[in-house]
Amino acid sequence: MNKNHKIKGIIFDIDGTLILNGQALLGAIETINILRKAGILLRFVTNTTTRTSEQLGSSLRVLNFNIQDDEIVTSVSACIKFINKNYPKKLGFLAIPETITPQFSMIKQTKDNPDFVVLGDLDEAFDYAVLNQVFNYVRAGAQLITFHSNLYFFREEKTWLDSGAFTFALEKATGKKAFVTGKPASEMFESAVTSMGLNKNEVIVIGDDVLTDIQGAHNSGLIGYLVATGKFKHEHLIEYHITPEHYLHNIRDIINILDIDE
């Protein structure tokens, strides 16, 4: 039972918080199960762009996580909602991986003076030609839209340069700000809160990335808890003024903080 009746929902980051290098982190599966038993509503937010919510849900269930597809909010789904709301009759250019292009089938596209450009995680497909093409579209007036601003990510137990690095370069070169639909933008977190039917003072955020998860929580008026896994570094505690009560040595610590019976 949740004795801390104020907190009724938790928004979890996925990669680096629940899983790392394709494996469940210590205590993560157990923590999710205990929270569900206590009646806590859960949502899972991710800046991963190569897989849909359904694909992510399936891979998490293979690892024995009790997580449903409709509980997962991705930066891609947030991007599509943003375009449909703000550019319903406009033409765009998509610089995104082929694996997710079917999700954008309703978006009208052009290579001739687009109104907006979506820049996604092209990984090895990032080259001078595509970056220069996007650069010139934005200089001509197109709005740059990106899924997230992550500088790097983990894969195969190594760190890899992420699309956020290219986004910052394009912002510097064009003098124009990109609109980010994923973390740390508030839209993703607020969408998760709304889907739970809760107020912001009833929801907390747990993540390993102080720049996207914790800053994203703050941007949305939510309290964030930094967990010591994934991208966490001890110097972040001092550098970003993370107080001891908002630091989790292990994800399972949240059970004690909320005073939940096991």
Predicted confidence (pLDDT) per residue in 208-226, tens digit = 999 899 999 999 999 999 9
- Which pLDDT score, from 0 to 100, does residue 130 have? 95
Q: Is the pLDDT of residue 261 over 60?
A: yes
- pTM for this model (two decimals): 0.82
Name the DSSP letter for residue 26. Answer: T
Q: pLDDT (tens digit, 9 = 90+) per residue, 47-92?
A: 888 788 999 999 999 999 999 999 999 989 889 989 998 999 999 9
Q: CB of 95 within 8 A of CB of 123?
A: no
Answer whether 213's CB lies under 8 Å from 197's CB. Answer: no
Q: What is the mean pLDDT of the chain?
A: 92
- Per DSSP, which regions of the chain are E strands? 9-13, 19-20, 23-24, 41-46, 72-74, 92-95, 116-119, 143-146, 152-155, 158-161, 179-180, 203-207, 223-227, 247-248
Strand-pair partners of 225: 206
Check the CA dihedral 48-54-60-63 and report its sign: negative
96-149 pLDDT tens trace: 988 889 999 999 999 999 999 999 988 888 999 999 999 999 999 999 999 988
Sequence-distant (6+) residues with CB within 8 A of 34 are 255, 260, 262
- Supply the pLDDT for residue 158: 85
Q: Cα dist. 8→27, 50, 120, 173, 199 in Å?
A: 21, 31, 34, 44, 9
Q: Is the pLDDT of residue 188 over 90?
A: no
Domains and CATH numbers, the chain: 9-47+184-257 (3.40.50.1000), 76-180 (3.40.50.1000)
pLDDT at 1 over 80: no
Mean pLDDT across 159-169: 91
Query: Which residue from 184, 257, 255 is spatially nearest to 222, judged by alpha carbons?
Result: 184
Confidence grade of residue 4 (pLDDT, cut at 50, 70, 90) = low
- What is the pLDDT at residue 149? 83
Mean pLDDT of the region 26-53: 93
200 confidence band (pLDDT: 50, 70, 90):
very high
pLDDT of residue 140: 97
What are the phi and psi torsion angles at 209 (to 5°)? Answer: -105, 110
